[in-house]
């Protein structure tokens, strides 16, 4: 077996492999037909003769590098052996300078693959629930007096910067936190994942206190909810319910269902909030991390 870097000459083969096998592990950041390898997303193919038997891609955009980490977009081999995974890992290690760790997601049930990852140095970091809201209705939730909930547009650059700063303040201490940059949010308005009305900022008076972001999952015509947070000074007033229900409203209004989100299993208050709104756990993922510095 050998490992080749993904270039414009073999990128179609990489995308095809990811499309065929990536969802077996984690389909959150699989490449589409427009994918091109860059310094922020290097990728490699594992080959046996002329056949692709494995692939690895590493997300190392600014929001990850700021946390000195990178996320595996795919780390998969049909040759389920530590040797195959070690070859892919050795290739991607060339792109981990300045980072502390690399991490990736595996379904809890993938016992054999988990053993392969553990054999080459990955260790269990946390468990994550993948939750879904499948009802086509959502109870109306009024905005409390003194608060306002605004759907931001691409023109609201100052407000989007406030949103990113607030997200870092509200959620930055959580395990698995990856920051959101204003550039990333602004860029999302031009992507196929954009949902009209899906970038929401909650204020108390003029002070930003809550965030939520709704994105489209193209292939399944579903929605993904992220950046759910409420400032600690304003918790316990039902604002989390408000943000989630408005996010669901936005998704359903745009014809997107089910509505998905992920949550750290070790965060019982968040898990309880999502369950109370109507989200149900559908699968459990294990997050594995590898120290690279």
- Sketch the domain layout of the chain as residue ranges: 2-128, 136-277
Cα–Cα separations (whole angstroms), residue 183 to 62, 63, 209, 293: 10, 10, 21, 28
- Residue of 200, 212, 202, 198 whose CA lies nearest to 251: 198
- Distance, in Å, from the CA atom of 276 to the CA atom of 267, rounded to the nearest integer, reads 14
The pTM is what? Answer: 0.90
- Which residues share a beta bridge with 133? 259
- Distance, in Å, from the CA atom of 281 to the CA atom of 263, rounded to the nearest integer, reads 10
Per-residue pLDDT of the chain (293 residues; tens, 9 = 90+): 999 999 999 999 999 999 999 999 999 899 999 999 999 999 999 999 999 999 999 999 998 999 999 999 999 999 999 999 999 999 999 999 999 999 999 999 999 999 999 999 999 999 999 999 999 999 999 999 999 999 999 999 999 999 999 999 998 888 788 888 999 999 999 998 999 999 999 999 999 999 999 999 977 899 999 999 999 999 999 999 999 999 999 999 999 999 999 999 999 999 999 999 999 999 999 999 999 98
Q: Which CATH architecture has domain 2-128?
A: 3-Layer(aba) Sandwich (3.40)
Same fold, 2-128 and 136-277: yes
Asked if residues 13 and 31 have their Cβ atoms less than 8 Å apart, the reply is no
CATH class entry, domain 136-277: alpha beta
Handedness of CA 158, 159, 161, 165 (dihedral sign): positive
- Distance, in Å, from the CA atom of 71 to the CA atom of 186, rounded to the nearest integer, reads 22
Asked if residues 200 and 212 have their Cβ atoms less than 8 Å apart, the reply is yes
Asked if residues 134 and 282 have their Cβ atoms less than 8 Å apart, the reply is no
- Distance, in Å, from the CA atom of 143 to the CA atom of 259, rounded to the nearest integer, reads 21
């Amino acid at each position: 077996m050998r490992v080749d870097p993904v270039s414009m000459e073999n990128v179609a083969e990489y995308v095809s492999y990811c499309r065929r096998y990536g969802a077996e592990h984690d389909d959150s950041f699989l490449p589409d037909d427009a994918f091109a390898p860059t310094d922020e997303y290097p990728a490699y193919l594992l080959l046996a003769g002329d056949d692709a038997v494995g692939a690895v891609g590493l997300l190392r955009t600014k929001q990850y590098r700021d946390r000195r980490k990178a996320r595996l977009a795919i780390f998969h081999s049909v040759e389920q052996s530590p040797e195959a995974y070690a070859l892919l890992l050795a290739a991607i290690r060339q792109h981990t300078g300045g980072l502390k760790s690399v991490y990736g997601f595996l379904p809890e049930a993938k016992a054999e693959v988990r053993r392969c990852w553990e054999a080459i140095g990955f260790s269990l970091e946390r468990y994550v629930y993948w939750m879904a809201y499948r009802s086509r209705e959502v109870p109306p939730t009024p905005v409390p007096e003194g608060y306002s909930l605004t759907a931001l547009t691409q023109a609201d650059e100052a407000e989007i910067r406030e949103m990113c700063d607030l997200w870092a303040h509200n959620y930055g201490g959580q395990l698995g936190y990856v920051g959101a940059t204003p550039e990333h949010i602004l860029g999302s308005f031009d992507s196929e994942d954009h949902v009209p009305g899906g970038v929401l900022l909650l204020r108390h008076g003029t002070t930003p206190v809550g965030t939520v972001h709704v994105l489209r999952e193209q292939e399944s015509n579903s929605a993904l909810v992220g950046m759910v947070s409420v400032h600690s000074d304003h918790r316990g007033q039902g604002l989390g319910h408000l943000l989630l229900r408005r996010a669901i409203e936005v998704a359903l209004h745009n014809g997107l269902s089910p509505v998905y989100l992920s949550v750290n299993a070790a965060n019982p208050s968040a898990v309880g909030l999502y369950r109370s709104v109507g989200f149900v756990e559908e699968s459990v993922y294990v997050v594995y991390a590898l120290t690279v510095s």
